[in-house]
């Protein structure tokens, strides 16, 4: 009969430390929380543009502890988890639109197996730097729903 350590060696099982388990639990909880995704579409990309917009949204929401993660040289950013608003992504999206100003299209709500995703696009406007038209895309949903939407679009 083998003990658990021997079984782990044969199956390639990895064990988590208490700190790693706590971090994994935190990440899993975050995926169930509300997130706001920002994408900046510009003729001339501006490094960090989505991050700066996410910072404005974070301030408007009064969520100083929300993390901002960026990708694609700052053209995409995700803000979250947004606490206290997980059941109302629509109000968070409206607050985000107010924080960024401009003329927005209609909010679209789609539902996938992980929940609703609220989505809106700001009309193309001339950037303050004169770099050409810029469009902003916003999504508000749970982390799981955002991941599922991205999978469905791929």
Compute the distance between CA of residue 68 and CA of residue 93 in angstroms, rounded to an integer: 16
Q: Is the peptide bond before 12 cis (omega within 30 degrees of 0)?
A: no
Q: Is 151 exposed, middle or buried (CB count within 10 Å of its CB: 0-12, 13-18, 19+)?
A: exposed
Domain hosting 118: range is: 34-153
Q: Does some domain include residue 79?
A: yes
Compute the distance between CA of residue 3 and CA of residue 143 in angstroms, rounded to an integer: 39
Phi and psi for 145 in degrees, rounded to 5? -65, -40
Q: Does some domain include residue 14?
A: no
pLDDT digits (tens, 9 = 90+) for 27-70: 777 777 899 999 998 887 788 999 999 999 999 999 998 999 99
Give me 13's structure tokens.
Answer: 């099982």
Query: Alpha carbon of 80 to those of 90, 124, 141: distances in Å?
Result: 15, 26, 10
Q: Does some domain include residue 73?
A: yes
pLDDT digits (tens, 9 = 90+) for 103-143: 898 999 988 888 889 999 997 776 666 566 788 999 998 88
Q: Does some domain include residue 124?
A: yes
Query: Got the DSSP string for 54-80?
Result: HHHHHHHHT-TT-EEEEEGGGTEEEEE
């Amino acid at each position: 009969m083998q003990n658990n350590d021997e079984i782990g060696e044969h199956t390639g099982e990895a064990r988590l430390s208490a700190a790693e388990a706590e971090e994994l639990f935190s990440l899993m909880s975050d995926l169930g929380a509300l997130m706001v995704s920002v994408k900046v579409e510009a003729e001339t990309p501006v490094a960090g543009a989505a991050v700066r917009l996410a910072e404005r949204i974070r301030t408007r929401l009064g969520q100083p502890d929300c993390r901002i993660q960026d990708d694609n040289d700052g053209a995409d950013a995700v803000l979250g988890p947004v606490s206290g608003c997980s059941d109302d992504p629509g109000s968070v999206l409206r607050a985000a639109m107010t924080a960024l100003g401009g003329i927005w299209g209609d909010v679209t709500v789609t539902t996938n197996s992980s929940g609703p995703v609220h989505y809106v696009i700001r009309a193309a406007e001339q950037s303050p730097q004169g770099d050409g038209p810029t469009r902003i895309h916003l999504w508000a949903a749970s982390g799981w729903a955002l991941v599922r939407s991205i999978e469905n679009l791929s």
